[in-house]
Structure 1
């Protein structure tokens, strides 16, 4: 797998922004995003949307950050530091989703950046629940995802449970995955990615990317591990790092798929539940190569 280039000492690296919730157990959310971004040689900026009470077993509570504070973090970072790409994760409520949608439009992020000299890609990971099934989004906020945030996305990346909640389609095979990708794209995203990691019907993990015209399939060996906490966040973070480095959406998805597969191979036990996927393998393997 080709990796993203590092900057020289003292040189300002590419910057990206994650707008998401925290994970007090350190396996997912902003913590997972920041780990991958650092290992990809990218400077991570954050806008905290929610604080979770979470460990390897599950999420017992969460606290929402006021919407104006979430939007203020985005405005402050983009206006001063500048970013090459952004992603969203856990946004918790309708009010936060609407605030994020508005500030992205204001700052030229996502489809609002189209036509500008340096458009800022936006990856929307529509986080609805933890891997344990604990809710991370108020049910009333699903409509805001569909009508406000997904329509401005460069790429939307739900897992299969999120696909079902957003589109009503239960993905069980390739035809239903294609139908789901079409339904997601119809909501307004430029690209839709249906992740097949949870569809354990073959020895391969298949993700399906759709741009309204053509389907592209990305496959990787299925890694036999129960330590897959933060896999979706890690995939999304790797994709935005590649987008910020100038990759096309298909090339960024290919990079992200390879990255998260390697992180699954390096996953480790943590606590009594599911351990996290780990980008820390990057620390033990030689210098980064250019793409």
Structure 2
């Protein structure tokens, strides 16, 4: 690859028919940050800003085939996982990544519940997620309900976020970004923890209903940075800044939790000058 390294990201996640989260948000985020997104779709969802109304799984063999064909031809500099709805799906992704994606950094977003409350991970799959996927990841990005499900205790304040991060590291996770968006208060705190230490990221909370897909977008933006050769703290910082800018640029669509303005980094005026 000549010139600046663009960063190839393979995203293994579910499709969001409303376009605000899932594979659609992942592709938009990676593209907006200068990377290249390929996909392995793990599930189809029928949803809009008001919530998820239906989920259709993808056969495990077809999930494996998508991953294999992308990695054998296009390759990837980072991999991101999102919605993996059940034990069979988790197994298919882990088997394929072990066979064809060894050594490629993985950002795992342990998606469990949609913004509107619909469960996106079967209850009996949490143990499989913990035992199989999380040890493969260079970084996991749980929000507070997801962190609680993984560590088995309540995470209701920043000190508890630190304890959850430490507990996840003890499970064999190499790095964890515990996201504090579910807490109240004017300041939003995220905690990045590795065996070498902890880094705190803080920003002013945005009062907005345009929050659909923030977790997917953040994880994909982080994966894009890793694919482009950035350090973990640097790519987390850039990803957080991108999500914040995309929230401020939200188009205000829908009657519920609206999508972000993923194209905030684009300059339409520049394109007009090229025509």
Which category describes the TM-score, using the shorter chain as reference length? over 0.9
Q: Name the CA distance, whole Å, in 2 between partners of 1:184 and 1:98.
A: 21
Among 105, 111, 114, the alignment partner of 1:127 is 111
* SS of aligned partner of 1:22: strand
Question: Could you tell me which residue of structure 1 aligns to residue 238 of structure 2?
Answer: 255
Q: 1:48 to 1:213 in 2, by over 3 A?
A: same
Q: Name the CA distance, whole Å, in 2 between partners of 1:286 and 1:190.
A: 42
**Count of aligned pairs between the two proteins:** 269
Find runs of 4+ consecutive structure 1 residues off by over 4 angstroms: none
1:55-113: CA deviation from partner (whole Å, max 9, x where unpaired): 1100011011011111111111011101110100001010110111111111234xxx1
Aligned-residue offset at 1:213: 3.4
Among 36, 56, 66, the alignment partner of 1:73 is 66
Point out the more displaced range, 233-242 or 209-218: 209-218
Q: Which 5+ residue runs of structure 2 have no aligned equivalent? A: 271-275
Aligned-residue offset at 1:281: 1.6
Among 193, 207, 215, the alignment partner of 1:210 is 193
Q: Which 5+ residue runs of structure 1 have no aligned equivalent? A: 1-6, 114-119
1:170-228: CA deviation from partner (whole Å, max 9, x where unpaired): 2222210011101112222210110011212x211111011123111111121110110
1:129-184: CA deviation from partner (whole Å, max 9, x where unpaired): 10111011111111111100001110000111111111122222221001110111
Question: Could you tell me which residue of structure 2 aligns to residue 157 of structure 1?
Answer: 141
Question: Could you tell me which residue of structure 1 aligns to residue 259 of structure 2?
Answer: 276
| TM-score normalised by structure 2 residue count | 0.93
Question: Could you tell me which residue of structure 1 aligns to residue 273 of structure 2?
Answer: none
Question: Could you tell me which residue of structure 2 aligns to residue 190 of structure 1?
Answer: 174
Q: Name the CA distance, whole Å, in 2 between partners of 1:96 and 1:242.
A: 26
| TM-score normalised by structure 1 residue count | 0.88
Aligned-residue offset at 1:285: 8.1
Question: Could you tell me which residue of structure 1 aligns to residue 204 of structure 2?
Answer: 221
Point out the more displaced range, 204-213 or 48-57: 204-213
Equivalent pair of 2:212/2:257 in contact (CA under 8 Å): yes
* SS of aligned partner of 1:46: strand
Q: Name the CA distance, whole Å, in 2 between partners of 1:22 and 1:266.
A: 23
